[in-house]
Amino acid sequence: MIDTVEIEPLTAPPDAVVSVPGSRSISNRALVCAALARGTSVISGLLRSEDTEAMLECLTDLGIGWRQLDETTVEVSGCGGRLPPGPRSLYTRLSGTTSRFVTAMCALGDGDYTIDAAAPMRTRPMGVLVDALGSLGVEVTSTSGRLPLVVHAGGLGGGRVDVSGDVSSQFLSALLLVSPCAAGPLRVEVTGELKSRPYVQMTRSVMAAFGAEAEVPKGYRATEYSVEPDASTACYFWAAAAICGGRVRVEGLGPTSLQGDVGFVDVLERMGCVVDREERAITVRGPSRLGATEVDLADISDQAPTFAVVAGFAEGRSRARGIGFIRRKESDRIAAVVEGLGRIGVTASEEPDGFLVEGKPDGNGTHGGSIRTFDDHRIAMSFALAGLRRSGVRIEDPGCVAKTFPGFFEALDQMRAP
């Protein structure tokens, strides 16, 4: 029997100040930098989710010491860029960032490091990173460039390596993260169009906070680091304001955030929302009626499902483009959103690099339905927003949100009038 949760519609437009947990993407990058640093680092504001738990477990299995100081703060004893020797076995669960980052980290060690993951993660590509490490002299054995794999490490020398940028920016980030610990300068060249460019900029910013510069072999220094709130998570609540015609303020995030997903409020603004940007807070006010738009989401691709649901309640035809690569995420996110919209009465169609949505202004003509999530946290959280406006929306396998935000459905209650 499939576990489901039915979303209770709001009885009034939201007027809320919402707290969101720390950034998943920043958390895992900070953990890698702290693990490779000389000395002991303290990371506060850390997201606690399946993805970060996977990273922390891998650090333990790699022989990196850490301890929890409070619910969102950890102390990490770095290895100075030299991992304890293998053989060691790592399990990355469903985490793409953990899988890619620890594979590159293992190249810094000595001996065999086996990396495996849950079945869905085993289907996701790793070949770009396997090939890149191979060209740097690191032997990696795998089947068709996917997990499980074994890194036969003997240290990472310098050199030059070409990395395709059109599959996932995580491969590039993985190599940048380990480059300060290489024996010599390691230069990474991107071939093709770089997708999700803001995530690479985020990687460089987190590295700089730990005293390192990409491609320069000077190592990391321990530091105290505070993780800012998760912009990808904040987008669900800003989108709720758009769909339901209310006001939602998220504190701790501003226009200068490290996270590119804050740019989703620009999309909402184009659809008629009023956006107030402060140095450390962003407020979105939904319009009386949303308008359609066409947008290239290549740099904020995690928001494609959220955009699809918002577009379902807008007047006119909306198009998302530049995101053909999201077919290789936790699910085929283009097919998943088109199916999900159809299940609530919204006509949508797939395109090679995105999708079209024929909006239902104010939700007129939409109806309830059961949403298949394909074990994809972003499909679950995005379509839950439709349930705030239309009764009868049911989310299958709601537990998949634990990957990035275990308390998501409870947080939705922050939208409700007291």
And the tokens for 89? Answer: 């076995």
The closest alpha carbon to 68, from 97, 48, 83, 54, belongs to: 48
Nearest 5 degrees, angle CA 118-CA 122-CA 127? 145
- Report how far residue 148's alpha carbon sits from residue 360's, in angstroms, rounded to the nearest whole number: 45
Stated as kind and residue range, the H or E segment containing 247 is strand 247-251
State yes or no: is 70 an active-site residue: no
Pairing relationship of beta strands 73-77 and 65-70 according to DSSP bridges: antiparallel
Q: DSSP H helical segments within 245-287, as ranges?
A: 264-270
Cis peptide before 305 (omega within 30 of 0): no
223, HSE (Cβ side, Cα atoms, 13 Å) = 17
Q: Which of 230, 302, 375, 397 is catalytic?
A: 302
Torsional sign, CA 287, 291, 296, 297: positive
Distance CA 51, CA 73 (A): 16
Under a CB-based contact definition with an 8 Å cutoff, are residues 396 and 370 in contact? yes
**Alpha-carbon span 414 to 194, nearest angstrom:** 37
Report the side by side order of strands in the sheet with 354-358: 294-296, 317-321, 354-358, 347-351
How many whole angstroms separate alpha carbon 375 and alpha carbon 330? Answer: 7
Of residues 44, 21, 9, the one with CA closest to residue 384? 9
What are the structure tokens assigned to 217, written together? 């072999």
3-state secondary structure of 91: strand
**Residue 6 structure tokens:** 């039915």
Catalytic residues: 302
